[in-house]
Chain A
Amino acid sequence: MKSKKHENLDNCFEVELPETPEGLKEVSDTLKLGLSTDEMLRVKEYFKNLGRNPTDVELNAIGQAWSEHCCYKSSKVVLKKYIFPLEHKDMLLRGDAGVMSFDEEYAYAIRIESHNHPSAVEPYGGAATGIGGILRDVLAMGAQPIALIDPLFFGPPDMPHEKLPEGVKHPKYLFAGVVAGIRDYGNRVGIPTIAGSVHFDPSYTSNCLVNVGCVGIGKKKFIRKNAVSSPGDNFVLVGGLTGRDGIHGVNFASAVLTEKSDVEGRPSVQLGNPIMKEPLIHSVMECVEANLVEGVKDLGGGGLSCVCGEMAIAGGCGAEIHLDKVPLKEEDLAPWEIWVSESQERMMLAVRDENLPRVKEIFELYDVPCTVIGKAIPEKKVRLYFKGVKVFELDIDFYTGGPEYTRPFVVKKREKTKERKLPPPPKPEELEKIFLTILSDLNVCSKEWVIRLYDYEVRGRTIIKPLTGRPSHQTHADAVVLKPLEDSYRGLAIAVGSAPWISALDPYMGGVISVDEVARNLASVGAIPHAITNCMNFGNPEVPEVLGDFYEVLRGVGDACRAFKIAVPSGNVSFYNESPSGRILPTPVVLGTGIVKDVRISASTDLASSDGYIYLIGETQENLGGSAYARIYGIEDAPPVCNPTNAFKYVSAVVSGIERGIIRSCHDIGDGGLAAAIAEMSIGGNVGVDINLDGVNMQEDVFLFSESPTRWLAEVDEENHEEFERAFAGLNILRIGKVGGKNIDFFKAGKKVLGVEIQTAKKVWNETLWKIMG
């Protein structure tokens, strides 16, 4: 690669772009731009027309802006097809986070994204900075963050070391590190970590998934676009200093992991500082609420380069930036490093001249750095100066535009007609063993080990908590309910859904059922589903089958959201989640919100009475595909199906039953099937149940462990049962049992087919993670 020093600067270079494709590729590789040959040809063409060579600053900025992570070049065409057309009356804004109407005066912001690759290399720092980044996305809308949500996916934490592929860190180490990173960042920054999920599957061994979500609330009149308002706006950089941490982070996120990633990817992982973030949130919110800022944007993947360009273009302007004004961690950073660094805890504000003094005063009180680094200009160009010397001048449309690809894809044919291999009906003593095995399975068992490390109550707004029930007998909640406003009982419910195993068998159904799972979780606390944000985790999109899965999952998500009348105001796509030792399951992660009209009507999963009826709501399908039972016992079967239009009727009926107070407690049926769900309710209420299987026309084990979607268990007081049955007229319900005693017992034709003491169930359900993680 040929380059020469900039005539007036020692730390800036002019790069000669060779004529040959090979030569161009070499430039991209040498500078770690992550650009393909075709993309380099486009760059070459642009500078040829300008009649000059690019600087290293310009090339780095293009490499960053055109990465998959920044411009969604492989996914945009699919999102445009299935997600962007979805409309919703309450959707106010799409931006760094999506904004939804909460009530007349307030809006909430919601976003989820991935921090997979940094966490695979450096679990503690990767997860912590993931939290930091998602907080800023929400803050950038002018909303106060009020909740953090963390869906996590790892290889089996009890996997033997000798089975670990080369260069891969042990799942137990990754799990512990990620959880510690979330704990230390989230707890310190004072935003409650209220929900999430932990999934384990061998496919995540060499590429764990760390998705981080955040929800915030703010007055509608202060919600801001991530944009400058007009020429003359000052770019005010606030928060942490800029350093060499996090250089080329987005390019690292947009490539397949290799056994060398540990060493080579390390500089791409940023360093987090929650004690800078905490006052940063305060000071930004104070400026927003005093109406002193025109627009806010988060400095995350892509650094100053992305932020200045995107804020300017969104406001119909250009930008002029003085890189030497940027406060640095170390003095000798080159201009290109300053421009693309992804150092943490930084935000950009667009501020009019007259508001600058008050903005500066607010940041000074909180001891948060605040520096004017440039201005919005009328021309649609971005110009950079370093010590008075111009080092960069690009048309803003060109560099923030980025390519968009319609890559080839195939929808993989799955053998749906394959003969089912249902297990023979188990004997009663075998049934008990299966039940306890499923309860203790990593994907079903209690996640208390994780949950109690997170402060889920700071801010005092958590009304239904992630662990619910009497302090001595707590169980998992389906969704968490927050009461975001001091003067209103209106609630915001938050839940997570993901169906990787079903997605692997039928990606379209995986998409539908992920949304169904969120909707039924929200319904069971009494919330009408309102919005989702999603993080789509897939392998390499240049592999047609991977992209085919992506198309199908999104088609499913889109169809489900339309049927459930759910908005999708934001989302994130994470590709390249694979390594030479394997590819992850197609993993859609859906974070949903629902509105609770009055938090005082919410229901939780712990049984509340000592003699109520138990109803099964919804239809049980015989299919076991994708269930915990099938995975543990090697049962091959097709996955269940979900009809979202039908499901929406059930969701509405469940919410109405809770609002009217005729459902005392409610639990959706998910991992581990009906048997696991009833055990969790029983454990939470510390009271037993007698379940009668007489009305069931399928093999008991199939009925008990099927994970058919759109189902709930509801506890109904005897005096309300007629009203309940009337309310569900036309829908599938079955009164299957009664609360009472100290055992979880199942009967058929008067004979007990399965019986376990609550204490036994509680013990096996509780101890799995504690035993492995210590």
Chain B
Amino acid sequence: MNVADVKVCVLRIEGTNCELEMAECFRRLGAQAEILHLKQLTGECSPDKKRQLSEYQILMLPGGFSSGDYVRAGAIFAARMKNALMRDLVDFVEKGYAIGGICNGFQILVELGLLPGIDKTYSEVPEVALGINDSARFECRPTYVKCESSGKCVFTRNIRKGRNLLIPSAHAEGKLILPDGKADEMLQRMIEQDQIVFRYVDYMGNYSGYPWNPNGSIYNIAGICNSTGNVFGMMPHPERVFYRIQHPDWTQNDIGENVGDGRAIFESVLSYITKKF
């Protein structure tokens, strides 16, 4: 299909707050992006506003503090989706469409059990968690991530393995935690299946501790995908570095064509959809 026909659903509830810049990234690349309230997918709205998930090829869960994150980051948004939409979601994933979650969206995908999605579409209960940062602080800072994907993840296929990207973080709960006793086995399986997409590195490109790993995430993991590669979540915000002038140090260099490090993520998923469907 043509990129102009690709429809992206950017989903929100109260407290979601990165939806506009997310939708703009797709629109800048020529796709159609619509910001929907969850109630428009579950039918709790006037008939002219109702939508079906099957009308879209990409579902994006943007960052923010859905429902205030008062219970656990992403837990309420996920619970509301699970009740009304789980079958639609599973169907969406199994048809090969793409789901991406950034920051709070990543937390929601984990709560939904769609990530890490090791050898299955989803799990009834969350298998991993995104816990409170080791620093116990909200961390708004530029971070570097290294692309680890050999091509499985549909959101990073245009990014060369080993390339370092500057993508900023802003979260209080971003530390990926694997269950005790099963951590090594799960990590190994995720590595084997090319599910580790991004790992935090320092400005030299070395795996490094705080503040380069802003949350203490295991194995410096910043982003993962499911075993089929079409569900992807990451803590840092690529939609905040679509342009070069959104980088924190752009004034030190020539901005060239004004391409930011986050842009390739949106380009990748759009080219995946246009090629496959």
Residues of A with Cβ closer than 8 Å to B?
Answer: 183, 187-190, 274-276, 278-279, 361, 364-367, 451-465, 467-472, 474, 483, 486, 599-600, 602-604, 606, 608, 665, 685
Residues from chain B with Cβ under 8 Å of A600 in the complex: 245, 255, 258
Complex Cα distance, B255 from A59, in Å, reads 63
A459–B46 Cα gap in the complex (Å)? 28
Is the CB–CB distance between B142 and A471 below 8 Å? yes
Output the least CB separation between B111 and chain A (Å).
17
CB of A471 within 8 A of CB of B249, answer yes
- Cβ B252 vs Cβ A685 within 8 A: yes
B246 to chain A, nearest CB (A): 7
A500 vs B70: C-alpha distance in the bound complex, in angstroms?
39
Whether the Cβ atoms of B18 and A458 lie closer than 8 Å is: yes
Contact with A along B15-56 (1 / 0, CB 8 A): 111101100100000000000010110000110010000000
Asked if B68 and A275 sit within 8 Å, CB to CB, the answer is: yes
* Residues on the B chain within 8 Å of A455, using CB: 138, 140, 170
In the complex, the chain B residue whose C-beta lies closest to that of A665 is B251
- How many chain-B residues does the 8 Å CB contact rule pick out? 46
Docked complex Cα distance between A183 and B170 (Å): 12
Query: Can you name the residue of chain B whose Cβ is closest to the Cβ of A275?
Result: B68
Instruction: Check B68–A453 contact: CB distance below 8 A.
Output: no
- Check A471/B251 contact, CB under 8 A, given A190-B64, A460-B239: no
List 7 A-B pairs, minimum CB-CB distance, nearest first: A190-B17, A460-B21, A471-B142, A275-B68, A188-B65, A604-B251, A279-B14
Chain B residues 87-141 with CB under 8 Å of chain A are 137-141
Q: Are B15 and A278 in contact (CB under 8 A)?
A: yes
Q: Given A603-B251, A606-B249, A608-B252, is A366 in contact with B140 using a C-beta cutoff of 8 Å?
A: no
Q: Nearest residue in B to A599 (C-beta to C-beta)? A: B245
Does B203 interact with chain A (Cβ within 8 Å)?
Answer: yes
Query: Assuming the A-B contacts A190-B64, A365-B45, A454-B140, are A470 and B252 also in contact, with contact meaning beta carbons closer than 8 angstroms in the complex?
Result: yes
Closest chain-B Cβ to A365's Cβ sits at a distance in Å of 5
**Nearest-CB residue, chain B, relative to A273:** B68
Q: B168 at the A/B interface (Cβ < 8 Å)? A: yes
Question: Does chain A have a CB within 8 A of B67?
Answer: yes
- Docked Cα-Cα span, A401 to B113, in Å, equals 60
Q: Within the assembled complex, what's the spacing in Å between the Cα atoms of A188 and B14?
A: 10
Judge whether B143 is part of the interface by a CB distance below 8 angstroms.
Answer: yes
| Residues in A neighbouring B245, C-beta threshold 8 A | 463, 483, 599-600
Q: A486-B24, A604-B251 are in contact. Are A458 and B17 (CB under 8 A)?
A: yes
B251 and A453 within 8 A (CB): no
A187-B138, A275-B14, A470-B203 given as contacts; is B240 within 8 A of A460 (CB)? yes
Find chain A residues with CB under 8 A from B14 CB: 275-276, 278-279, 366-367
Residue of B nearest to A604 (CB): B251
Q: Which residues of chain A come closer than 8 Å to B18, judged between CB atoms? A: 190, 458-460
Distance from A621 Cβ to chain B, minimum over Cβ atoms (Å): 30
Cα–Cα distance between A486 and B248 once the two chains are bound (Å):
19
Chain A interface mostly helix, strand, loop or mixed?
loop
Chain B residues lying within 8 Å of A278, measured Cβ to Cβ, are 14-17, 64
Quick check: A365 and B39 within 8 Å, CB to CB? Answer: yes
Q: Taking the complex as formed, is B144 at the interface, i.e. its CB lies under 8 A from any CB of chain A?
A: yes
Residues of chain A contacted by B45 (CB below 8 angstroms): 364-365
A460 engages B242 (CB within 8 Å): yes
Complex CA distance for A604 and B255, rounded to whole angstroms: 14
- List, in ascending order, chain B residues with CB within 8 A of A602's CB: 251
Q: B168 to chain A: closest CB distance in Å? A: 6
CB distance from B74 to the nearest CB of A (A): 14
The answer, among B20, B69, B70, B137, for a CB contact under 8 Å with A459, is: B20
**Does B166 lie at the interface of the complex (its beta carbon under 8 Å from any beta carbon of A)?**
yes
- A458 contacts across to B, CB distance below 8 A: 17-18, 63, 170, 240
| Chain B contacts for A464, CB-based, 8 A | 251
Whole-angstrom CA separation of A459 from B19 in the bound complex: 8
**Is residue B237 within 8 Å, beta carbon to beta carbon, of the partner chain?**
yes
Given A459-B18, A461-B21, 4 additional A-B pairs, CB 8 A = A361-B46, A453-B140, A467-B248, A486-B24
Residues of B within 8 A of A465 (CB): 248
Measured CA separation A599–B243 after assembly (Å): 12
Specify which chain B residues have a CB less than 8 angstroms from the CB of A603 in the assembled complex.
251
CB-defined contacts of B202 to chain A, threshold 8 Å: 472
Contacts of A483 in B (CB 8 A): 245
B258: chain A residues within 8 A (beta carbon):
600
Which of A275, A471, A474, A606 contacts B65 (CB under 8 A)? A275
Q: Chain B 174-214, CB within 8 Å of chain A: the 1/0 string?
A: 00000000000000000000000000001100000000000
Contact of B168 among A183, A457, A606 (CB under 8 A): A457
Contact of B140 among A275, A279, A452, A471 (CB under 8 A): A452
* Residues in A whose Cβ lies below 8 Å from that of B239: 460
Q: A70 CB to closest chain B CB, in angstroms? A: 31
B197 to chain A, nearest CB (A): 20
Give A361 to B65 CA distance when docked, in angstroms.
Answer: 24
Q: How far is the CB of A201 from chain B (nearest CB, A)?
A: 26
CA A458 to CA B45, docked complex, whole Å: 28
- Taken together as a complex, chains A and B put the C-alpha atoms of A486 and B141 apart, in Å, by 24
Residues of A within 8 A of B49 (CB): 365
Contact B15 A474 (CB under 8 A): no
CB closest residue in chain B, given A191: B17
* In the complex with contacts A188-B15, A457-B140, A463-B246, A471-B252 CB distance below 8 A: no
- Interfacial chain B residues near A469, Cβ < 8 Å: 248-249, 252
- Closest chain A residue, CB of each to CB of B248: A465
Contact of B37 among A189, A361, A365 (CB under 8 A): A365
